[in-house]
Amino acid sequence: MLQALLEMRAFPTGMEMFPSADDDQWDFIQREILSSDYYVVIIAGRYGSLAADGTSFTEKEYDFAVASHKPVMAFLFHDLGQIKGVHLDQEPGARAKLDAFRAKAAKGKLVKEYRNPDELKSQVWHALTHAFNLQPQEGWVRAKNQRRIEDLEEITELQKKAMELEAEVARLRKDTGLMLSQGDDLTAWSVDWTQPDRSIVNSTVTVSWKRILLALFRDGSHFVSFGQITTTITRICKEYLPEGVDVTTAAITNESMGEMVRAIVIQLRGLGYITVENTPGYGTIWSLTPAGSLQIALLVGQRRE
């Protein structure tokens, strides 16, 4: 029996390993059962040592394991009539308790009868293998792996919180998308230009958010650098220069450019169309999100008839 358990890389603890069985050791036995993953009871021809209440410690163990919701496996000797001598209770009271205990265990979920030690070993092996697959328990943890398990638990908790936050962000974006201007909605900017003589001229630029989004990602690219962003904004704004202003020499002031860049990034991020990050070699870039790519497809893609 013990060999079968060890071959399965299980760590058995049993009555023969406990201190002397008396009421003072009952707390110890309960702790051992609670710390175990599975409970196996083998009932042959002896009822066993009695506690003060007249119940055998084996039956008390069995009742405690059942009450603790441990997976319980019971193995009963097939025919008590084949057991002879000291291996079978002869005293009527003990025999009656044994028969009652066997009847109780026989009503359990997993009960097998055995005829010899080899059959017992085989049945225990198959029963535990079945339990390992259908009712997996915590098992033993090496001390060096304890920190790893705690880390995994912490990672799992963080992943759960991240998923909750992502769901909340998605909900907010959905609600925000209904409130923010987009598509053919117009936005107006007051733009200051410097001329070669250092004079300042002003123009008002009115443009749709659809045009801004398509102008930024006009070539199918999924990201644009800061230089490409300012070049695109300048190209749009030059269409609105006052008459008489040379488009080749006029330049948008830093203040006006900064205000327009901030307005665009706030709007497109709020709509969930872009993300902003700093990257080596490119500096600040705006990248299309899946929602942004879908929006561009809806704006310029071929629609069904």
Q: Residue 190: which CATH number?
A: 1.10.10
Q: What is the domain extent for residue 70?
A: 2-144
DSSP annotation of 155: H
Residue 203 falls within a domain, yes or no?
yes
Residue 238: predicted pLDDT: 92
> Using one digit for the tens of pLDDT, what is the confidence trace for 201-243?
999 999 999 999 999 997 778 889 999 999 999 999 999 988 8
Residues 126, 183, single domain; the answer is no
- Looking up residue 78, the CATH number of its domain turns out to be 3.40.50
Residue 8: predicted pLDDT: 72
* Angle at 207 (CA atoms; ends 202, 210), nearest 5 degrees: 155
CA distance linking residue 217 with residue 229, whole number of Å? 10
Q: Which amino acid is at 23?
A: D
DSSP annotation of 34: H
> Long-range contact list for 160-169, CB < 8 A, 24+ apart?
none
Residues 108, 192, single domain; the answer is no
* Percent of residues, the chain, with pLDDT higher than 70: 87
Residue 154 falls within a domain, yes or no?
no
pLDDT at 92 over 90: no
Residues 6, 134, single domain; the answer is yes
- The pTM assigned to this predicted structure is 0.46
CA distance linking residue 127 with residue 112, whole number of Å? 9
* Percent of residues, the chain, with pLDDT higher than 90: 36
pLDDT band at residue 194 under the 50/70/90 scheme? very high
CA distance linking residue 199 with residue 191, whole number of Å? 14
> What's the whole-number average pLDDT of the chain?
85
Contact 236/205 with Cβ under 8 angstroms? Answer: yes
Residue 144: predicted pLDDT: 60
> Using one digit for the tens of pLDDT, what is the confidence trace for 133-179?
888 887 765 656 555 656 667 777 777 787 788 777 777 666 655 67
Residues 6+ apart with CB under 8 A from 202: 190, 191, 192, 193
Residue 226 falls within a domain, yes or no?
yes
135, two tokens: 């009712």
pLDDT at 22 over 70: no
Contact 65/71 with Cβ under 8 angstroms? Answer: no
Q: Provide the number of structural domains found in the chain.
A: 2
Of 93, 127, 144, the last residue of a domain is: 144
